[in-house]
Structure 1
């Protein structure tokens, strides 16, 4: 997802018919494949993988390799559940296709026809964006995965906040992977069908295909006993990490399944919408999903051998391999990887699921399987791609060393820790909280991004987010013209920068009580030459008031012995008196996020 998820008797009978005769692990032309996979697992340090292959409508391989959880004996089997990540997108596109077949919507209908409150940053895009655009990654919007990843926003709130996401390009001008648009498509499915996306997937796809083990939420895994654990690398060591809940972005990637179930989904695709004696989707709709919608610029690479084009359909990535059209999609979320791929003209398809994230091993195994069935010269794809992966890893290590070398030594923050503490906001992403705990700064953005802040240099601090999309990140604080901390930018290395503006200090109730004698010492006239401002501070009815020509009279409410909230002014407006020998030396008017004004007593 990240740039990485009724008739029970009938369903069980269906699985029995499809899978009643166990697939032979070494059925020709896959002789020697078990040894190859087991060696690859060791080489790539992947705990476990499950693989299923469909050929000519028949399951010819369904098997697990390795273990479900590192350090524990239970093996991966063909029925072990994994997160399938973004390969879930094709399920969302297929659901839309079913509604198109029923005449309940059209591919090129405006999205707002079904989601009237859906609004994007550009009014033109809001008006013109179609259902097809939602599914083909051409909305022009920038990356916004922090809007949903590890946040507490629900599906409706994520779509509401999408209006603040600035475009990265114009509509339909370029490919831009967008999970939030798939969420919008899922919400359209719910609106048109009267069922939640989850219920629609269960009733219209899982049940007729006999996918009885599959579900759409990690919450549904609690009663399952054959479940893989997610794994990721941490400091050169592969370890178990928690499952990631994707309920708020479910239509883009929340499905959990096993290779037996996904093999039935592959059979449906290769059958052009027919499965056994059932037709779930019209052949025309399947062809539309497998037809190029958005061109993806690419350069030849180890991941795309022999490819001449790379396009995106509706929920599927399209390219060519050995002169044949290749329809596939990968999936990746915390600790899990997936690959679903088909060569339709050969009636050949596969699914590979692994319990480690960001591994190219799945692509290597895909090509290995396809080569065997196509009768192509055999290549050690695992060894070739492992060499390439190690090269990329070395580049990453070199970049990390370069970053460390560029660190400016012996610098200090410009402010004391407590002055960095506060709430920082972004219209799109929400709030970031920086707290000071015994002189140590801590950073929190939702449940996924919580870390202590280690001083890096100047006003930049390093954060380490365990198990999140980026393990190492930086937070840089910026000052305004008055030398006050005004902004904090979260930089996720290799992902993006996320700016947050400091929120005005909340207008709290009076924290102190001052006598009339104490208040009178602040009374007097104050002025500033540039900008020209005059303020008269007066005692009226036992209260301190500020009189500004042309404005209402403001009450000054004490929140500290020399600090007053300006009642009636916008939030974050305060009057701060600087005292010398018991007399006001200056009056500073703090104007929220705006510039402060310093006034001197009128002599």
Structure 2
């Protein structure tokens, strides 16, 4: 999620060097380092797990579960893990491959006859592997608004709407991260087993590994008495700036998108997952396999080359020579070592799971806020420590870079909303009644625009109570003020036909660094009824 996730704070890692033997324990001052960063960056709580050579060397909580109810985080506190859960979905499929139920290169339509993409040829050719490696031709984050911030759509209905999403590129021609096809992969688990994705993951992964505190759904997460509540900064110039506040937990990832990132996991439980991954499917104790070594190799085999833009000079030492995407994992180099990892983000929570297979060490870091510089920074510091490199102060460097991006984005938004001195004063072309009515986008569905006491209000029926008041900006463009403060503001532009009637509505995010899950630019609404 993702998005269904807020995009994790990205900057990957690498340097020309030979990997050196790992050290046998976490940094001596690591716990105090985490505590210090919580204070410095204003993060409520964090959790960390480290496994090396099959042994747990750290499973610990830091800070508090919620600013409103500051109970301490412990090693059993569950944190939302976002898209790190994609690896669990691929593991579920790997188990089914081991059982002979499916093959990675089976055509999706052979198991789900109702599956359709925009292009009939793509529908016929798309394989299970294609669902998992972000090369479908869909644009970045396409379809995420089907479950952001929440939805009443079933997984099957969400899948049915894929046929209306236009591709951005040709099939298998390049990489563009998506969540909706992992949702399809979750539906496929149900189609071939008769069990929901949630039931299958619970019974065949969580229960088998002894992950007894972790949850597979939002309902189970909210019911847990030992959970980290998500937090975000929403009252600044753009999202990510302002005061840290707890979020409404009912606004987390929607159930239909859970296979793309709906798990919540504790540090203690994550150690079992790290052990199984580092053991190539062999479970702790070495007597049973969660999935075979053959499927472990499949899941870590690169399928798509990722873009690899040059970083800022301050982060050059953290840049890889190559990045690839495998089945639910990113595979790249880190200072000469092989790194298998995945970030995760949902509203108010961030996480990362990373493995150094050749050094037999793995990490899990999560926070209950949106300070990605802490998650990624701590990961880099752990990688450097276990590979024998000097400390680089990564959280501080990433924080400086992130702050610079936010300041620039906030200035851009202010410039958009503050017209130049010589700009003409404009008014809407129509009276408010001229904009009201129902409008439909084929994949997203129908919205309703009404005049409420002299102001335009938009209702989003499938998003369970989501609405927005429209404020005029210029000409026929309005800005949304959502009743959910976690939603990124959007511009809605009404286009008129020759008779002066609204012919379509287009949208775009206000912030230039809005998370890609707010894929407003993919929407195209047209009238469905007379006003």
What range is the shorter-chain TM-score in? 0.7 to 0.9
Once the two structures are superposed, residues 431-470 of structure 1 have per-residue CA deviations (whole angstroms, 9 ceiling, x without a partner) of 1111101111111223374111111111111112355664
Q: Does 1:349 align with 2:371?
A: no
TM-score relative to the length of structure 1 = 0.78
Out of 300, 316, 320, the residue aligned to residue 329 of structure 2 is: 316
**For residues 154 and 316 of structure 2, what CA distance do their matches in structure 1 show?**
35
SS of the equivalent of 2:214 reads coil
Q: Secondary structure at the match of 2:184?
A: helix
Equivalent in the alignment of 2:215: 215
Q: Which of the numbers 429, 437, 443 marks the counterpart of 2:452?
A: 437
Matches within 5 A, 1:13-412: 28-142=25-139, 143-149=142-148, 150-235=150-235, 236-243=242-249, 244-275=252-283, 276=285, 277-301=287-311, 302=315, 305-357=318-370, 359-406=372-419, 410-412=425-427
Larger radius of gyration: 1
The one-character-per-residue Cα deviations of 1:497-547 (angstroms, maximum 9, x if unpaired) are 2221011228xxxxxxxxxxxxxxxxxxxxxxxxxxxxxxxxxxxxxxxxx
Q: Does 1:464 align with 2:481?
A: yes
How far off its partner does 1:72 sit?
Answer: 3.1
Distance 1:295 1:306 in 2: 15
Structure 2 unmatched runs, 5+:
6-23, 236-241
Deviates more, 1:400-409 or 1:185-194: 400-409
The Cα shift of 1:29 comes to 4.1
CA separation of 1:468 and 1:253: change in aligned 2, threshold 3 A = farther
Does structure 2 conserve the Cα–Cα contact (< 8 Å) formed by 1:409 and 1:457? no
* Cα distance change of structure 1 residues 473 and 4 upon mapping to structure 2, 3 Å threshold: same
| 1:358, distance to aligned residue in structure 2 (A) | 5.5
1:479 alignment counterpart: 496
Aligned mates of 1:437, 1:400 — CA distance in 2: 27
Q: 1:209, CA displacement in angstroms?
A: 0.6
Q: Cα offset for 1:188?
A: 1.4
Structure 1 runs (4+) deviating above 6 angstroms are: none
Q: CA deviation at 1:398?
A: 2.1
Cα distance in structure 2, aligned partners of 1:454 and 1:438: 13
What do residues 266-319 of structure 1 show as CA deviations (whole Å, max 9, x unaligned)?
110000000122111111110110110111111233398141111000000111
- 8 Å Cα contact 2:4/2:147 also seen in 1: no
What's the CA shift for 1:71? 4.2
Q: Deviations over 1:68-127 (max 9, x none)?
A: 111432111111111111111000101111111111111111000100111111001000
Match of 1:420 in 2: 435
SS at match of 1:483: coil
Aligned residue for 1:360, secondary structure, equals: helix
> Could you tell me whether the CA contact under 8 Å between 2:504 and 2:526 is conserved in 1?
yes
2:175 counterpart SS class? coil
Task: Say which SS state the counterpart of residue 369 (structure 2) adopts.
Answer: coil
Q: Map 1:520-535 to 2 at 5 A.
A: none
* Separation in structure 2 between the aligned mates of residue 104 and residue 380 of structure 1, nearest angstrom: 48
- Note closer, same or farther for the CA distance 1:44–1:145 as it changes in structure 2 (3 Å cut): same
Q: Which moved more, 1:488-497 or 1:273-282?
A: 488-497
3-state secondary structure, aligned to 1:357: coil
Quote the offset at 1:330 in angstroms.
Answer: 0.7
Q: Quick check: 1:80–1:228 contact (8 Å CA) kept in 2?
A: yes
Name the SS for the 2:93 alignment partner: helix
User: Do the aligned residues in 2 keep the contact of 1:4 with 1:331 (CA within 8 Å)?
Assistant: no
What RMSD, in angstroms, separates the aligned Cα atoms of the two structures? 1.9
Deviation (angstroms), 1:44: 2.0
8 Å CA contact 1:292, 1:312 repeated in 2: yes
CA gap of 1:37–1:358, structure 2 versus 1, over 3 A, is closer
1:148 Cα deviation from its structure 2 partner: 2.3
Whether the aligned pair in 2 keeps the contact of 1:465 and 1:473 (CA below 8 Å) is no
Which SS does the other structure have where 2:494 is aligned?
strand
> Offset of 1:212 from its aligned partner?
0.7
Give distance in 2, aligned partners of 1:465 and 1:265.
39
Bigger strand fraction: 1
Alpha-carbon separation, structure 2, partners of 1:304 and 1:280: 36
CA-CA distance at 1:33 after TM superposition: 1.2
1:500 to 2:515 alignment: no
Q: How many pairs does the alignment contain?
A: 486
**Aligned mates of 1:32, 1:225 — CA distance in 2:** 30
- Would the alpha carbon gap of residues 409 and 269 (structure 1) be closer, same or farther in structure 2, given more than 3 Å must change? farther
- Compared CA separation, residues 247 and 351, structure 1 to 2 (3 A): same
> How does the TM-score come out when normalised to structure 2?
0.88
- Using a 3 Å threshold, how does the CA distance of structure 1 residues 69 and 265 change in structure 2: closer, same or farther? same
Please tell me whether the aligned partners of residues 246 and 253 of structure 1 are also in contact (alpha carbons under 8 angstroms).
Answer: no
Secondary structure of 2:372's counterpart equals coil
Secondary structure of the 1:311 match is strand
Question: 1:223: how far off?
Answer: 3.5
The offset of 1:65, in angstroms, is 1.1
* Counterparts in 2 of 1:85 and 1:468: CA distance versus 1, 3 Å: farther
**CA pair 479-85 structure 1, distance change in 2 beyond 3 A:** same
Q: Can you give the 5+ residue segments of structure 1 that lack an aligned partner in the other structure? A: 6-26, 507-603
